[in-house]
Structure 1
Amino acid sequence: MSDQPTEQRDAHGERTAWWIRAYRIGFGLLGVLALVWIPLRNIDSATFSLTNYLSYFTIESNVLSVIVLLVGGALAPQGAHWQTFRGAVTLYMLITMVVYAVLLAEVDVMLTDRWINDVLHRIVPLVLLLDWLFVPMAARLRATPRLIGLWLIFPVGYGVYTLIRGPIVDWYPYPFIDPRTQGYGSLTIGLAVLLVVFVVLAVAMAALGDLPARWRERRSD
């Protein structure tokens, strides 16, 4: 009988510690500052394109991460739909961090300010990953094909959008998705490899996010 009220409080987010909410809001605001810094600084520049800026996967995933952090800090929702969304955004930020470290660390991706690079490619992704690993969910998420497919809709959709928009505006955000420099054959192989990596990361993300719930169940046995 004593377990039921505890589970009910967890489901409504009432047991989320104040310091968890505080760091979520703090890093969420840091993410907002990093995201708006370059557009504000270049607002009068004739060569700056806001549309191009918003067409980077890094920027789009960080916009989603700011939503997760600020909502998670202010409301700490625990519903299944929110946890699915939270896991998806954490996956996108992990993709951002890994792809940048492996493929883009020496490439100009419009983020020439060192602190913005660190915030968007390292700090915020790491915060979301640690939050996902150590702040337990009220309900367990399982790495089902449906969940993995749902999480991968956004990266796949981003790739389709980039390949359609690229020839129209003669601009691509990243070299590995630019057919002008490598041809469509190499591009297809490279994107297929990336998709496999994303699937592996998604499965790992779901499994790791499930660990706190497993530990909690073992303690209650």
Structure 2
Amino acid sequence: MPQRPHPWLAPARLAVAAFAAVALCFSGYHAATDSTGVVNYFSYFTNLSNLAAIAVLGYGGWAGLTGRSPVPGAVRGAVVLYLAITGLVYGTLLLTYPDLQVIPWVNDVVHRAMPLVLLADWLIDPPQRRVRPAAVLGWLAFPLLYLVYSLLRGHAVDWYPYPFLDPALHGGYRRVAGACVLLAAAFLLIGGAVAAVGNAFAARRRTHGEAVVRRRHARA
């Protein structure tokens, strides 16, 4: 029997979604009025992942308040993975590039806070249905499409969203290929971990719920 999420979770999701939306609107306006441009702004994996997180949290909060069907676990898990990769790449590869830190508080929101929030949401309200390995593989579709888009558009307009995708820098396409292989491995490993942790927490929640039901029947 599915367990009802915490009553405070729905409004909390809506509040976080609204705050993240404000952060993206703030940085989006900044990008639209400077040399970055709107198209380049939406060509960052960070911004696309955070838009997905806003959609998932926003709909999840609304569904929780109205009693509608929740966001499917496979969809939530994909967004958790994308935000986890966003935080990992920022902390390990991009933190030393000051050009990517135009608005410090927005960077903190999209690179640090949102990955942690999505992970916490995943653990507090784990998926109702078991996330299978096929779903984890499916999560890789968006990153692969994003990679193809970034490389093709970068070659056409001579602009790449991240330094490790730019073949004009030291190492050329060999370095880009190496970075892509490492990122693919990270997506697979972290995606598997996200699914495993979600399944484990869901199993524990079901076990706890069944124990509560048995105790109630024993008292009756």
Q: TM-score, normalised by structure 1?
A: 0.86
Q: Per-residue CA shift, 1:53-81, capped at 9, x if unaligned?
A: 000000000000000110111104656x7
Equivalence for 1:98: 88
Equivalence for 1:137: 127
Equivalence for 1:34: 23
Alignment check: 8 A CA contact 1:136 1:213 kept: yes
Cα RMSD (Å) of the superposition? Answer: 1.8
Cα 1:113–1:207 change in 2 (3 A) is: same
Q: Which one is further off, 81-90 or 36-45?
A: 36-45
1:21-170 to 2 correspondences below 5 Å:
21-45=10-34, 47-76=35-64, 82-108=72-98, 110-142=100-132, 144=133, 146-170=134-158
Alignment check: 8 A CA contact 1:78 1:138 kept: no
Cα 1:212–1:44 change in 2 (3 A) is: closer
Question: Is 1:213 aligned with 2:179?
Answer: no
| Runs of 4+ deviating beyond 4 Å | none
Q: Distance in 2 between matches of 1:192 and 1:42?
A: 30
Question: Is 1:199 aligned with 2:188?
Answer: yes
Q: TM-score, normalised by structure 2?
A: 0.87
Unaligned runs of 5+ in 2: 212-220
The DSSP-based 3-state class of the residue aligned with 1:48 is coil
The DSSP-based 3-state class of the residue aligned with 2:182 is helix
Unaligned runs of 5+ in 1: 1-6
Cα 1:158–1:108 change in 2 (3 A) is: farther
Cα 1:127–1:105 change in 2 (3 A) is: same
Corresponding residue pairs, total: 206
Instruction: State the AA in 1 paired with 2:81.
Output: L
The DSSP-based 3-state class of the residue aligned with 2:168 is helix
Q: Per-residue CA shift, 1:164-190, capped at 9, x if unaligned?
A: 100111100101111110211121122
Alignment check: 8 A CA contact 2:49 2:79 kept: yes
Equivalence for 2:214: none
Percent sequence identity is: 37
The DSSP-based 3-state class of the residue aligned with 1:89 is helix
Instruction: State the AA in 1 paired with 2:140.
Output: L
Cα 1:190–1:44 change in 2 (3 A) is: closer
